[in-house]
Amino acid sequence: MTDNKASIPWYRVAFTKRWLSYFLLTALFAGACVALSTWQFARRDEAKQEINRVLANYNAEPIALTEALPDPTQFDENDKWIPIVVTGTYLPEEQLVARSRPREQVAGVEVLTPLKTGDGMIFIVDRGWLPANENPVDPYILPQPPTGGVTVVARLKASEPSIPGRGMSDGQVATIELPLIQEVLNAPTYTGAYGLLESEDPVPVDQAPLPALKPTLDEGAHLSYALQWIMFGVLAFIGLGWAVRNELRIRNSETAEGKAKLEAQAQKRASKPSEEDIEDAILDGR
């Protein structure tokens, strides 16, 4: 009875409940790939914006702190890396360290020194990075900043967000969270931004911490990852189509029409001379 069946049309296979379920799973997977691709494109846009900020602001002429931050509690992210100049007096007894700041796979901290300006406000200066030493009791010996009046040139960065469950202990903070530092200092403080030290005058007697590294102008591999996720989504549908076609071919091979096609293909292959026949014909001709 099977031999009298005609070929099965493709939609009789593709629109079955089983293959529709597979199609739904494929669509969900492709949707996830699109979402991940969109996320990578957004990450690339953020990286490009950061590169533009560095190119526009990093080597600009320093401006007064009060001009850059007219409102001590606010900060425009587009002003990141702008150099500012401010004069005041360091408060070395109030120094803090931002912990868990590895650099080139070496454990370390960033030294945060409050600078009291002429109007009584506190501006937090990140004076640089210190590696951990071998003293388990006091792993970070903080160098003393210049005493008396000092003129500081620093680049602005926004206050860092808090980390839930991690606060402050023994003069150490988990992040450079300026509102928290203001509470610790109990003094009016710039909470919108702090400064990465570029230079200070006079030069300190103690060796200063290592200066901050210049940000890289590399947008990363986000574009490549985004295109890869798109490709994965497309390949999922191609694989689904191949699977449907393969099942259709197997099922049609059992019908009379399918068997006739297979026999015709076999006869066609048999009618063609083999490589051995061609070689024998060439030798005979010689």
182-194 pLDDT, tens per residue?
A: 998 999 999 999 9
202 preceded by a cis bond (ω within 30 of 0): yes
- 75 pLDDT tier (thresholds 50, 70, 90): very high
Q: Once rounded to an integer, what is the mean pLDDT over residues 170-177?
A: 86
What pLDDT is stored for residue 37 in this prediction? 95
Mean pLDDT over 261-279 rounds to 63
From the list 196, 17, 18, 7, the residue with the least C-alpha distance to 101 is: 196
Q: Give the tens place of pLDDT for each residue, 28-60.
A: 999 999 999 999 999 999 999 999 999 999 999
Average pLDDT over residues 131-154: 80
The H or E element spanning position 123 is strand 122-131
Q: Is the pLDDT of residue 1 over 60?
A: no
**Tokens standing for 270?**
């048999």
For the CA atoms of 142, 146, 148, 150, the dihedral, rounded to the nearest 10 degrees, stands at -120
Residue 213 lies in a domain: no
Predicted confidence (pLDDT) at residue 14 exceeds the cutoff of 90 = no
| pTM (whole model) above 0.85 | no
Is 206 contained in some domain? no
Domain extent, residue 92, equals: 60-201
Give tens-digit pLDDT for 85-103: 999 999 999 999 998 888 8
State the chain's mean pLDDT as an integer.
85
Q: 168, 201, 234 — which closes off a domain? A: 201
- Same domain membership, residue 135 and residue 30: no
What is the SS3 assignment for 193? strand
Helices first, then strands: H and E counts in the chain:
7, 9
Are 137 and 168 members of one domain?
yes
